[in-house]
Every structure is written in C-alpha cells, then in structure tokens.
Structure 1
Amino acid sequence: MSLSKPPVQSAQSRRAASKVASKLVENEKSLLVCSTASTTRDVREFLLNILQLCSPLSNKCPKPLQNPINDSSEILPVLIKQDTALFVHGSSTKKRPNNLVFGRKFDSQLIQQQEFELKNFLALEDVKSKKPMVNCKPAIVFLGDYFENNVEFIRLKSLFLDLFRGQTVKKIVDTGIQWTICISAVNNEIRVRSYVIDDLTNETMKSVQSPVHLTPMGFSFDLVMRRSFFDDKVYEKAMIHPKLDKDGKQVQEKQKNVEIDEFGRKFGTIHVDGADVNKLNLRKFKGLRKGGDDEGEEGYAENEEELMEFEEESDEDEKK
C-alpha cells in the first residue's frame, strides 16, 4: 500500500495547493490569536490590542486551545488550515498566571515557541492619546546588548520582527510611520513600550533635522521569560537562501554526468573503477592451486602416469 499523497486533479485544488506550497519569496506572515477558555483581564486585553495593531494580517481563533508549549498537536492543524505562520496564545492558571506563548512555524512544523509572564500591562484604552491608523507599519527599536550577543535573545528579536513588521512594501513616506515600539532587555525580562510619533512645532527645535516627539499610546508591558522551545533542524532549513537569476527564479544546479536528448529522455553516465581480475571472488578449484597440498600433488602424478601408459598402448596397436 502506497503512503504517498494522491496527485491533485482539479484546477481549484492545484491552485489551493500552490498557495500553501513552499516559495522562494514567502507570502505575508499572518498572525493567529488564540487563548484557553478562561483567562484574566490583562491577557484578554493584550490579545485584543495585538489583534488590532497587527490588522489586517491577524486572525482570531474561533475556538479555545490549550497551551501549545505543553502539547502542540492541537494548534498545529489550525495553523496549517488557516495558513498562518505566527501565533500568540494566552492562558492563566494557578501555576502560571498571565501566561503568553509566542511562536512561529515553517513548512508545517513549529520552529520556535517562547513562554512569558505578562506584567504591568497598559492597554490602548487606558491611555488617552492619538492612535496609529490601521495597517500602519511601526518603527521597531531594540535596546540592550542582549539582542546582539545572546543567542536566545537574537532569536526573540527575529520573532518580534516577524510579529510587528506588517505587510511588505517597497517605499514608505515619512507620514506613514506613525508609531514606534521600543523593546529593551534586562536580565530575563523584556520591556515593551509603544509611542505615537508626532511632529514638533516648538521653535527651539527647528535647527534639528526632522524633529519628532514621542507620546505614550498604551500597549506597554513587561515579559518575564519562562519555558522555551526551538528546533535547530527546522531553523537551518528555513535559513537556506537559494540562488536566484535576474527574473527572481531559482537557479537549478547542473547535474553532473546527466544528459537529456532532443526527445526529453534522460541519460546518465556511470564511471566504474578498473577491476583487478586476480582479486575477483570466483569459484575455487583444488586442481588450479599453485602450491597444492601433498594429496593433490600425488593424485595429479598418478593420473599423469596412467595417461602415459594409455598413450603407449595405443601406439603399439597402431603399429600392429
């Protein structure tokens, strides 16, 4: 019985399969926001705020899911079905209150999960200030040597960039950047602060080129690191950069000793080293030995004497 998947037949199925298949230039990374059945107010407000800030590349899971860092078998099919690469999961238990899990996948496999404790959360609604427009990319700033020297924090930096980068654009106007996220690291704690960018009208700042003013907008919190998961093999697979030509297509490496004729048939050339005939493993006969044993030599001598006697008798018969 064959375990391979049957070929896709209909055109609609082929188009759906091509959207999910691996690509040289990936699609926009969307976010799945999910939680357990019961959570705290801070966790619910955090999930609603990140759902709003990451719009339109964010989706809310319609059903409650258990903590994926304990068992990822429940959230992985949902990520594959909705074709989402990132997720944020919220939960709260007596053992781990105000719990958040950030994660991402690659090629239908989880590549990274990081569990945090949410502390000192300030929602967007708690601060009366100007808010950024929908689908507005933020300016992300990382502060601290941990994001440059520590391997674990370097991976978290990549995760946060995927989470808040938004849609890919070629050019951004100055007025398009309306807010910024400042992420700093202190020991095992990450502090996130969000600000609205406003132009200064003060005359004393006119000498400064393009002066800006930062106003707190909410969505500020502290994250205390807990458990983590990272798959090195999947990460190495995700970091492969194939060679591209001028048109952006993958350059296929030429196979050695393989030729294709005008009919499309493939022929291969096999190079075999020279074989030593003396070392071939053939059937060994006792009479062919160079230095046979005594019994073999005596038997050979007796056969030779009988042959000579037979030849002498045949010569005498011919003379008669």
Structure 2
Amino acid sequence: MLKIRTPKTHRGKRELEKRAPKLVEGNKKTLILHGTKTSNVLNSVLTEIYHLKKENSVKYTRKNDNIRPFEAGGETNLEFFSQKTDCSLFVFGSHSKKRPDNLVIGRFYDHHVYDLVELGVENFRSLQSFSYDKKIAPKMGSKPLIAFVGEGFESVDELKHLKEVLLDLLRGEVIDNLNLAGVDRIYVCTAVSANRVYLSHCALRLKKSGTIVPKIELVEVGPSMDLVVRRHRLPNEGLRREALKTAPDSTKKKVKNVKGDPLLGKTGKIYIPDQKLGDMALPNKAKGVKRERREAKMNRGLKKQKAEEST
C-alpha cells in the first residue's frame, strides 16, 4: 500500500487537499485496466470508453496478472490503483475461454471496492463502423442524456444494479442548470431480456417542427454493443450504510429547544416558572374558610370565659 507522507511542497499540499473528503464531491474519475489476456474486441471497447470519458479517466495499457475482482484477495491491486489515481470507478477487461470478452465495471468507496458487475460484450460496433454527417457529431465534454427503456430496470435485481453502475459511469459532471444548445447526445439502454441490455450512443439532430420546441431525431454514432450480465456483487450492509451517510447542513441555523423525532415529528420544550401558591388570590366568599374562622372565634371565646370563671 502507499505510505502516508506529509507534503513537503506547496504543490504536494494542494494535491492532498484535492483528494481530501469534501461536502460536495467533484467529478468521478474512471480507471481503465487490462487483464492478463484481452481480445481485439475488448481492446476496442476499453479504448472507446476512454475516448468518451477522456476528461475524467485514467487508462493503463499494461497487462495486470493479479487482478481478480470477484475473488478474495484479488482486489488488492485495484484498491492500490484507486488510491494512486484517486479514481471512484473502474472498468476492467479480460478474455478467457470460460468468459470471453469479459468486462467488469465497479465502484470504489474510500478506495475500497464497493460493488461489481460482470458483463459479456457481444455484437460490438465501433465508432468507425457508423456513417453519418460529421456536423452532428457530439462535442467533447458535452453533457449526455441517459435513457433506460424496459420494465426489467425496475423489476430485475441484476438490471437494477446495472442501471445504478451505468448511471455513475456515463453521466459525467453533476450540474444544476443545463443549456439546451449543449445537449447533443444520448445513451440509450434497452432491456432486451432479464440479463441482456443493448447499449447505443446516439447524436441528437434538431429539426423544425413549426413550434418553439424543435423536433428531435436520434442518429446512431457509436459505439453500440450487447451487454450480457454474468455476475454481480452488491455492497455489504456495513459499507453501504457508511457510504450513504451525509454530512449535516452547517448553513442551517439551530433553533433553540426544538428537535426532530422520527415518531413524533418536530417537538419543542416550553419553560414555565415555578408557581407560588402562597401568593394566589383566593375568593372572598369561600364557605370552608368562613367555617374555620367561626370555629376558631368560638374556641377563643370559650377559653376566655373559662379563664374569667377560674379567677
């Protein structure tokens, strides 16, 4: 593992500050790796994923023998590369007789492997195999739209998990406002069956419609491929709880004596001063008080009369 070192220069200090945890995280970088053996199809897939995410990706071309994400201990090198490059996602390609054209997509949390999806690539078509007008080609760094078509993304667990991973991989930077003039491409993910998804990359062509809203046509520009889900691994519950924690909002002012309760909702405390019963005003015509006074007066009169008789 990497040694923990204190920065000796201002540049090193700035790099460590960039990698430090933040309330609002920046773009997620993707790490692209090759396995011990890869095919020509898989090399093209990894290269085109790198070109689509060139601004936020790191690609290693050397072969890695000791990376086996689904095996115990086979993820150590992945976590080392994640810490070295500060990447939150990875795409790992390998090829074997048992699993040809194998693509593993996963996510990291705190430089530990969070979850994994293993896919088989079939019917791959590269960018060069599509013919279209170069004027409508998507621009580098533009914000893509992502469409998921099919009920499988809501009902099948494997496709639900794949949807989450593809969203993180393809969406790019998280933004608040969007300029429609810069929207020029879309990823379309179609659930063909319970374990097969057709992924295509299309350009958006705007045409006149006679109204303010233009007519939109999709022109496939590539790449496109069939993704067959082979294996997937969900995060363990402890790591999932840790990853879903959110920092408290420091800008919100605390209201005194008010707190939230999951069952009772918003509750508060009201402070009342101690009651002084001796100063309370009693009614003048209280019958019980009059009777006590009458009896006390009669007792005093009897005592006085006995005293006179004894003298």
TM-score between both structures, scaled by the size of structure 2: 0.71
1:216 aligns with 2:215: no
Deviation at 1:174, TM superposition (A): 1.3
The corresponding residue for 1:303 is none
The corresponding residue for 2:235 is 231
- SS for the counterpart of 1:214 is strand
Cα 1:100/1:9, change in 2 over 3 Å: closer
Asked if structure 2 preserves the Cα contact closer than 8 Å seen for 1:67 and 1:89, the reply is no
Distance (Å, rounded) in 2 between the aligned partners of 1:182 and 1:90: 22
Asked if structure 2 preserves the Cα contact closer than 8 Å seen for 1:22 and 1:107, the reply is no
Deviations 1:101-149 (A, max 9, x none): 0011011211011111100111111102243111112110011222223
AA in 1 matched with 2:185: W
Could you tell me which of 196, 205, 210 is aligned with 1:206? 210
Deviation at 1:245, TM superposition (A): 3.0
Deviations 1:184-241 (A, max 9, x none): 222111111221101124xxx4258321111111211111111222222222211112
The corresponding residue for 2:78 is 75
The corresponding residue for 1:34 is 33
Summarize the alignment of residues 211-290 of structure 1 with structure 2, pairs less than 5 Å apart.
211-232=215-236, 233-246=238-251
Distance (Å, rounded) in 1 between the aligned partners of 2:179 and 2:4: 48
The corresponding residue for 1:298 is none
The corresponding residue for 2:267 is none
The corresponding residue for 1:114 is 117
Aligned pairs, number: 243
Distance (Å, rounded) in 2 between the aligned partners of 1:95 and 1:6: 40
Deviation at 1:18, TM superposition (A): 3.1
Cα 1:6/1:188, change in 2 over 3 Å: closer
Asked if structure 2 preserves the Cα contact closer than 8 Å seen for 1:191 and 1:221, the reply is yes
Deviations 1:149-205 (A, max 9, x none): 34443332221111111123342211211110111222111111221101124xxx4
What runs of 5+ residues in structure 1 fail to find an aligned partner?
A: 252-320
Deviations 1:38-78 (A, max 9, x none): 31121111111111111200111142223433411122101
Cα 1:139/1:154, change in 2 over 3 Å: same
Distance (Å, rounded) in 2 between the aligned partners of 1:86 and 1:216: 26
1:171 aligns with 2:177: yes
Asked if structure 1 preserves the Cα contact closer than 8 Å seen for 2:88 and 2:108, the reply is yes
The corresponding residue for 2:303 is none
- SS for the counterpart of 1:217 is strand
AA in 1 matched with 2:143: K
Cα 1:218/1:6, change in 2 over 3 Å: closer
Cα 1:119/1:21, change in 2 over 3 Å: same
Cα 1:62/1:49, change in 2 over 3 Å: closer
1:149 aligns with 2:155: yes
The alignment's C-alpha RMSD in Å is 2.5
Deviation at 1:6, TM superposition (A): 7.4
AA in 2 matched with 1:92: H
Distance (Å, rounded) in 1 between the aligned partners of 2:155 and 2:34: 33
Asked if structure 2 preserves the Cα contact closer than 8 Å seen for 1:105 and 1:111, the reply is yes
Distance (Å, rounded) in 2 between the aligned partners of 1:207 and 1:25: 39
Could you tell me which of 167, 180, 186 is aligned with 1:180? 186
Identity of aligned residues (%): 28
Distance (Å, rounded) in 2 between the aligned partners of 1:50 and 1:42: 12
The corresponding residue for 2:142 is 136
